[in-house]
């Protein structure tokens, strides 16, 4: 393959990943965030029910993470990824067909299952292609699709509200948009081929698998990150719309989250090159704490917009850094470690929305839930500081051992 042809193919592969993220994350998963207050106004759903539906969506995502971690065949991963694309379309349109809680629950669960396909399986397939073709194995551009997807979902709902469409018509509109996005996401990601003997993608074993200490600290830290992420991701529009001075700004705030997220993932790739993945993760989580708790500290428009920028500019960077790190540890089978990480992240996403929805139902606001989320992310950052110190100590000992062996 010529250099020009390789660059063109690489561009289409990355675009396929972006379109899959817009479809499965932006529409199938995150359209629920701006549509939640509309559904609360026009149907029977309350804060607690909204939290449980979000929790079930993340339960589906968690099951997808288990599948991604357990499947070794790259060909089966490719098949499941494409099934996930179809599921994303069907579950989005299906939300318009009923107002029964348990049918909604099943659809949100399946939508979560499809979103794990674009997040984990597509990530693994794209990394597989990049490494096989000796391209830089970074996922920042791929994950920019999540931020773009958030913008698309927020603007689509805002447009449909301007057209006075009810919640059912808006889900139908989301389903139609999802069907359009399916085409490039499906066609532009090549089917995997067997690697050439001796190529970078041929060897399955990691060069340096993570230690037990690494996993014991990294998994709870990523759990904490997941807890903080999901509160704003699920409730930010509802939080903004409940402030009398901010009514009508919810969808624009959510769009700002996506606008901040899209370029930020590539920025955090650059930061990681300078200070390492663990250092970048510590910084990203500490900034995220500020973004999460700001709406509990102020109801001013500037405060909420700053919160959206800080949250949007960090939550996706955290995910991208962790999954790229997993891909570097397991270059030929990255979904293995990605799945383990996402199980920790996903467990928090099941607990947090349900708990926050019940707290909001009891206290009449989301403030306690926001402070609790900020506390969890702070704890996660402290665990990463500890892990980084352990990692630096291990590197010094390795260097000393090598020096002694040479002497």
pLDDT of residue 335 exceeding 70: no
**Predicted confidence band at 184 (pLDDT cuts at 50, 70, 90)?**
very high
Domain coordinates of the chain in residue numbers? 9-190+209-406
Q: Tens of pLDDT along 189-224?
A: 888 876 544 444 444 444 455 677 888 888 999 999
Burial 27-60 (b: 16+ CB within 10 A, else e): bbbbbbbbbbbbbbeeeebebbbbbbbbbbbbbb
Distance CA 32, CA 30 (A): 5
pLDDT value, residue 204: 45
Secondary structure of the chain in HEC code, one letter for each residue: CCHHHHHHHHHHHHHHHHHHHHHHHHHCCCCHHHHHHHHHHHCCCCHHHHHHHHHHHHHHHHHHHHHHHHCCCHHHHHHHHHHHHHHHHHHHHHHHHCCCHHHHHHHHHHHHHHHHHHHHHHHHHHHHHHHHCCCCCCCHHHHHHHHHHHHHHHHHHHHHHHCCCCHHHHHHHHHHHHHHHHHHHHHCCCCCCCCCCCCCCCCCCCCCCCCHHHHHHHHHHHHHHHHHHHHHHHHHHHHHHCCHHHCCCHHHHHHHHHHHHHHHHHHHHHHHHHHHHHHHHHHHHHHHHHHHHHHHHCCCHHHHHHHHHHHHHHHHHHHHHHHHHHHHHCCCCCHHHHHHHHHHHHHHHHHHHHHHHHHHHHHCCCHHHHHHHHHHHHHHHHHHHHHHHHHHHHHHHHHHHHHHHHC
* Closest residue by Cα to residue 231 from 323, 355, 107, 117: 355
Structure tokens at 195: 């690697």
Mean pLDDT of 309-319: 88
Tokens matching residue 254: 């959510």
Structural tokens at position 75: 């060909």
b/e 155-183 (16+ beta carbons within 10 angstroms → b): bbbbebbeeebbbbebbbbbbebbbebbe
* Nearest C-alpha neighbor of 62 from the set 40, 18, 29, 97: 29
Question: Higher pLDDT residue, 195 or 299?
Answer: 299
* Radius of gyration of the chain measured on its C-alpha atoms: 21
Per-residue pLDDT for 34 more than 90?
no
Q: Is pLDDT larger for residue 384 or for residue 116?
A: 384
The pLDDT value given to residue 206: 46
Cα–Cα distance between 228 and 349 in angstroms, integer?
9
Q: What share of the chain in percent tops pLDDT 70?
A: 87
What was the pLDDT predicted at 55?
84
Q: Which carries the bigger pLDDT value, residue 207 or residue 85?
A: 85
Quick check: 261 and 154 in contact, CB under 8 A?
no
What band does 398 get if pLDDT is binned at 50, 70 and 90?
A: low
Q: Which two tokens stand for residue 185?
A: 């996401």
Q: Which range (57-71, 85-99, 165-179, 185-199) has the least confidence? A: 185-199
Higher-pLDDT residue of 159, 349:
159
330/190: higher pLDDT = 190
Quote the pLDDT of residue 405.
Answer: 64
Say what the pLDDT of residue 154 is. Answer: 85
Q: What is the pTM of this model?
A: 0.73
Q: Rounded mean pLDDT of 19-28?
A: 91
pLDDT at 303 (0 to 100): 87
Could you tell me which residue, 211 or 262, shows the higher pLDDT?
A: 262
**Residue 55 backbone zone (phi > 0: left; psi -120 to 50: alpha; other: beta):** alpha
Q: What architecture does CATH give domain 9-190+209-406?
A: Up-down Bundle (1.20)
Predicted confidence at residue 7, as pLDDT, reads 78
Report whether pLDDT(58) > 50.
yes
Q: Is the confidence at residue 272, as pLDDT, over 80?
A: yes
**Residue-wise pLDDT tens digits, 102-113:** 999 999 999 998
Supply the pLDDT for residue 93: 95
Arithmetic mean of pLDDT over the chain: 83
- Across 369-391, average pLDDT: 92
- Using an 8 Å Cβ cutoff, are 281 and 384 in contact? yes
- Asked whether 34 and 153 are in contact (CB, 8 A), the reply is yes
């Amino acid at each position: 393959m010529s250099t020009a042809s390789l660059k063109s193919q690489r561009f289409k592969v990355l675009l396929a990943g972006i379109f899959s993220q817009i479809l499965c994350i932006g529409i199938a998963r995150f359209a629920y965030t701006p549509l939640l207050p509309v559904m609360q106004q026009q149907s029977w759903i309350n804060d607690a029910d909204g939290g449980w539906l979000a929790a079930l969506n993340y339960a589906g995502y968690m099951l997808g993470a288990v599948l991604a971690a357990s499947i070794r065949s790259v060909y089966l991963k490719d098949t499941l990824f494409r099934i996930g694309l179809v599921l994303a379309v069907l579950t989005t349109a299906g939300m318009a067909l009923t107002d029964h809680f348990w049918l909604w629950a099943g659809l949100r669960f399946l939508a979560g299952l499809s979103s794990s396909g674009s997040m984990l399986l597509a990530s693994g397939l794209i990394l597989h292609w990049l490494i096989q073709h000796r391209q830089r194995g970074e996922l920042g551009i791929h994950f920019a699709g999540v931020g773009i997807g958030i913008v698309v979902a927020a603007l689509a709902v805002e447009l449909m509200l301007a057209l006075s469409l009810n919640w059912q018509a808006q889900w139908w509109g989301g389903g139609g948009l999802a069907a359009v996005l399916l085409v490039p996401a499906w066609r532009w990601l090549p089917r995997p081929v067997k690697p050439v003997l001796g190529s970078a993608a041929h060897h399955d074993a990691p060069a340096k698998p993570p230690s037990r200490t690494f996993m014991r600290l990294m998994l709870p830290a990523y759990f904490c990150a997941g807890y903080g992420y999901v509160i704003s991701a699920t409730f930010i529009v509802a939080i903004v719309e409940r402030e009398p001075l901010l009514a009508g700004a919810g969808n624009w705030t959510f769009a700002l989250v996506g606008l901040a997220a899209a370029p930020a993932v590539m920025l955090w790739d650059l930061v990681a090159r300078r200070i390492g993945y663990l250092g970048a993760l510590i910084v990203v989580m500490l900034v995220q704490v500020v973004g999460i708790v700001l709406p509990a500290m102020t109801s001013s428009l500037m405060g909420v917009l700053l919160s959206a920028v800080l949250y949007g500019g960090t939550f996706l960077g955290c995910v991208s850094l962790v999954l790229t790190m997993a891909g570097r540890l397991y270059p030929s089978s990255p979904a293995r470690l990605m799945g383990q990480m996402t199980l920790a992240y996903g467990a928090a996403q099941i607990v947090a929305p349900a708990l926050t929805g019940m707290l909001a139902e009891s206290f009449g606001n989301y403030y306690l839930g926001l402070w609790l989320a900020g506390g969890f992310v702070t704890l996660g950052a402290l665990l990463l500081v500890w892990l980084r110190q352990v990692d630096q100590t291990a590197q010094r000992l390795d260097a000393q051992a090598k020096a002694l062996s040479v002497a």
